[in-house]
Amino acid sequence: MKTTAQFLKMKEQGEKIVMITAYDYPGAKFSEAAGVDMILVGDSLGMVVLGYESTMRVTVDDMIHHSKAVRRGAPDTFIVVDMPFGSYHGDVNETLKTAVQMMQLTNANALKVEGADDVIPVIKKLTDAGIPVVAHLGLLPQSAGVLGGYKVQGKTSEQAEKLINDALLVEQAGACAVVLECIPHQLTEIVSEKLTIPTIGIGAGAKADGQVLVFHDLLQYGNHHIPKFVESFAHVGDEVERGIITYTQAVKAGTFPTLQQSFTMKEDELIELYGGVK
């Protein structure tokens, strides 16, 4: 398993960091086998796995449940778990308790929190308690209600300046990496140069130190809206659809199962049972 120190070294040496989200045992297993550097159990699971319209209804228990499965599937990969909406904005001691519970029950390597400002003390508190924290700036899905939807962030010089400053603040607070979501590529380049810790981009261009994509987006698994910044490297949904349609047709037509997929009783046992009549 890679460590935060190794991620720093990868940045120094210009080796890209590959991150993918995973939400269950098989997804984690495939990801580890493919050799990704980090897995994120994202609260995006609320949308792509649980069918909610946003990430706002995902709970700490949801995150723990899925993260445990991911750890079982990827025992040797660095796992980051999202703290969900509302779980880190109360009293900072309460947040630490929640964070400790998430770490202990899931055996994750780090937790991720969205934003700067009020979240800076949280990053400090968790880091001081020994919990590695990944920060998340730019488009903050947990604040979409306030930001006015899933919109690109940091397009004006003023917004960009605030984001650069926030990035420096989360680094100072102790963050071990920072996710940059949906910002102009030029801003990603500036932030990545200014920081010592690695930047992981999503919709943030090529200059981030690493990239992250949602499992179901990059594999096109599901019929959800796929954001513009995604490249789909496979079309798993088409295969799933084809497979289930074919199965349905086979059962209806009586072509499945055949003797090949059946269990057979020996002839003498059958004679015993029916007196030789089938």
Ligand X SMILES: Nc1nc(=O)c2c([nH]1)NC[C@@H]1CN(c3ccc(C(=O)N[C@@H](CCC(=O)O)C(=O)O)cc3)CN21
Point out which residues bind ligand X (CB under 6 A). Answer: 44, 47-48, 55, 139, 141, 150-152, 182, 214, 216-217, 224, 227-228
Q: Was 217 annotated as part of a binding site?
A: no
State the Cα angle at 55 between 54 and 56, rounded to 5°.
Answer: 95
Rounded CA separation 188/200 (Å) = 9
Q: Measure CA of the first residue to CA of the last residue in the chain; give whole Å.
A: 59
Q: Residue 209, interface with ligand KIV (CB under 6 A)?
A: no
Q: Residue 82, interface with Mg ion (CB under 5 A)?
A: yes
> Looking at 52-173, which runs of residues are DSSP E strands?
78-82, 110-114, 133-138
Quick one: 83 exposed, middle or buried, by C-beta within 10 A (0-12, 13-18, 19+)? Answer: buried
Rounded CA separation 31/42 (Å) = 14
Q: Was 43 annotated as part of a binding site?
A: yes
Q: Was 112 annotated as part of a binding site?
A: yes
State which residue, 232 or 256, has the beta carbon closest to ligand KIV. Answer: 232
Residue 109: contacted member of Mg ion, ligand X, ligand KIV, none (CB under 5 to 8 Å, by partner type): none
Residue 212: contacted member of ligand KIV, Mg ion, ligand X, none (CB under 5 to 8 Å, by partner type): ligand KIV
Q: Was 91 annotated as part of a binding site?
A: no
Helix (H, G, I), strand (E, B) or coil at 40: strand
Q: Going residue by residue from 82 to 121, which x/- string records binding to ligand KIV, judged by CB under 6 A?
A: x---------------------------------------
* Residues, the chain: 278
Cite the annotated binding site by residue number: 43-44, 82, 112, 114
Residues at the contact surface with Mg ion, assessed by CB under 5 A: 42-43, 82
